[in-house]
Amino acid sequence: MIRRLSFTAAGVVVVIVLVVAFVGLFMLRRPGALEGTTTKLHLETVAAVGQANEWPRPNDPHPDWVGYLPTTTWKVPANSTIQVQIDQEDGASGLRNPFWGKVFGTEGGNMHVTYFDDKGNPQEGDMTSIDPTQAAHTFAIPDLGVFVPLLGVNANAAAGSTNVITFSFKTKGPGIYRWQCFVPCAAGTLFGNGGPMQTIGYMGGTLIVT
C-alpha cells in the first residue's frame, strides 16, 4: 500500500513538472509585441529562427523551428491602411488546399513579389495567386478576410536568397485578431501541424488593433 502511494505521488510530481515545463517553454517564453503602434510591418519568415538573417533569436528554446520575426504580436491603428513587407527566406512546403494559393483582402487584390525564377534570375511583378505547391508560408488574418500566400525561394536561387512580398490591407475597429500560417510547415510533427504551427511566437500570433 505504501509503495503504491509512493508511485502515485511520484507520478503526480512528474505531471506537475511537465506542466510547469510546458507553460515555461511554450506559453510564457514568447516574443513581445512591437513597441508602439505602427501602420508599417516589416517581417521576416525563416526556416529556422536561430539562423535568421535580420532578426536571429540566439537564445530561442527552439532554434530549428520555422517562424515569423521579429515577433508575431503587432499593434496597429483601427480603420487604417497597413503596409506590409515580408522578407521570405524559406523554401516551398506546399498548400494542401490549392484555394489558399490566391490573394484575398489586400488593397487592389494583389501582392508585389520580387523573386527568382527557375534559372536563378531575379524577377518581380504583381500577383493575384501563386502555384499552391510553391507556397512556403502564408500571412492570414481570417477575421479581416486577409490571406496572402508567400512564394517559396526557388531551389535554383543562390544560397541566402530572399523573396520580398509587399502588400497593404485595411483594419477594422479596435479588437484582437488572431492570425496564422496555413502551410503545414512544421517538419517532424504530425502532418506538419505541430510545434511552431500551434505555438504563439512562431507561425501564429495576434494583431492588436487600437
Q: Look up the CATH number of the domain holding residue 163.
A: 2.60.40.420
What is the pLDDT confidence band of residue 17, given thresholds at 50, 70 and 90? very low
35-88 pLDDT per residue, tens:
678 999 999 999 999 989 899 888 899 999 999 999 999 999 999 999 999 999
DSSP states of 9-39: HHHHHHHHHHHHHHIIIIIIS---PPSS--S
The percent of residues in the chain predicted with pLDDT above 90, rounded, is 72
21 and 70 co-located in one domain:
no
What is the pLDDT confidence band of residue 2, given thresholds at 50, 70 and 90? low
171-208 pLDDT per residue, tens:
999 999 999 999 998 877 888 888 999 899 999 999 99
Across residues 119-125, what is the average pLDDT?
A: 95
Domain total for the chain? 2
Residue 16's domain comprises 1-30
The grid cell for 77 is: 491603428
67 and 159 co-located in one domain:
yes
For residue 151, count other CB atoms closer than 10 A to its CB. 22
The yes-or-no verdict on residue 1 having pLDDT over 80 is no
